[in-house]
């Protein structure tokens, strides 16, 4: 969607980049010329594979372990990234977890875990990179939300709340930094072929399919292509948007 070397000389941090949408997004940005920080929390081997794929695109890349829900770990990760790259120009807030259950039986731990990783992690990482973007007067912040943040889902009040809040975060921050040539957008994927979808039962998949007008699940590249577009100069006038990539599910 964008020029192959549209991001040459830029530095990107992709959280939760060891697999799935995060890996695909990191590789897409690398293919466009960006050097990549591959964040992971619990999958070091998979993260190193993402690093290999990024380096195969001819850029520099390294893996950085951090729980994005821990501000101290986020700071350490950014210190490492700054030492290696000097600054972060593009942030993809992709790291997220689920801990499903009906609200009547949801524990404090399940609520806190999801909100802390998905919402607080987005805040901690964005705050950590924002100052250098403002100083450089250029930046791209791309949040990975979810279709359930738009339409809700039974058994996912915590996840839905975290993703809906990211939409509001996007609207407000986009206004704060618009004059500094920094764009802030959120992509809301529908059901994408990842480990999470693979774990669903056939009955669950059949039910979900009735919600999707295109009658199929998406691929990680469908999201990565949008990440690449939003990071590129082609999207320089696009900010404060929540963009659905979901086969029509949010209609």
Which positions are annotated as active-site residues?
159
At 218 the three-state DSSP class reads strand
Pairing label, strands 61-65, 35-40: parallel
Residues 6+ apart with CB under 8 A from 185: 141, 142, 143, 170, 174, 230, 235, 238, 239, 240, 241, 242, 243
Residue 9, CA distances (Å) to 12, 54, 248 in order: 10, 14, 36
The token duo for 185 is 């957008």
In DSSP terms, which residues pair with 166 in a beta bridge?
none
Q: Where are the alpha helices (DSSP H) in the chain?
A: 20-31, 44-55, 71-85, 108-114, 121-136, 148-151, 157-177, 195-198, 202-209, 220-231
CA distance 172 to 180: 14
- Tokens 């942030």 found at: 91
CB-based contact 183:238 (threshold 8 Å):
yes
């Amino acid at each position: 969607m964008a020029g192959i070397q549209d991001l040459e000389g830029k530095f990107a941090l992709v959280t939760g980049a060891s697999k799935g949408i995060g890996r695909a997004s990191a590789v897409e940005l690398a293919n466009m010329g960006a050097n990549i920080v591959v964040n992971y929390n619990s999958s070091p081997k998979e993260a190193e594979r993402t690093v290999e794929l990024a380096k195969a695109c001819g850029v520099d890349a390294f893996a950085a372990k951090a729980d994005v829900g821990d501000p101290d770990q986020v700071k350490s990760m950014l210190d490492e990234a700054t030492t290696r790259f000097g600054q972060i120009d593009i942030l993809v807030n992709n790291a997220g977890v689920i801990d499903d259950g009906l609200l009547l039986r949801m524990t404090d731990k399940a609520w806190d875990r999801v909100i802390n990783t998905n919402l607080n992690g987005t805040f901690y990482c964005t705050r950590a990179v924002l100052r250098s973007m403002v100083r450089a007067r250029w930046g791209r912040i791309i949040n990975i939300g979810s279709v359930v943040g738009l339409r809700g889902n039974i058994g996912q009040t915590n996840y839905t709340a975290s993703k809906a809040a990211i939409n509001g975060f996007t609207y407000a921050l986009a206004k704060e930094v618009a004059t500094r040539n920094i764009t802030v957008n959120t992509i809301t994927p529908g059901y994408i072929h990842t480990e999470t979808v693979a774990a669903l039962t056939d009955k669950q998949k059949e039910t979900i399919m009735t919600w999707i007008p295109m009658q199929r699940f998406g691929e990680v590249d469908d999201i990565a292509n949008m990440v690449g577009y939003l990071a590129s100069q082609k999207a320089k006038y696009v900010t404060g948007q929540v963009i659905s990539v979901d086969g029509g599910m949010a209609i």
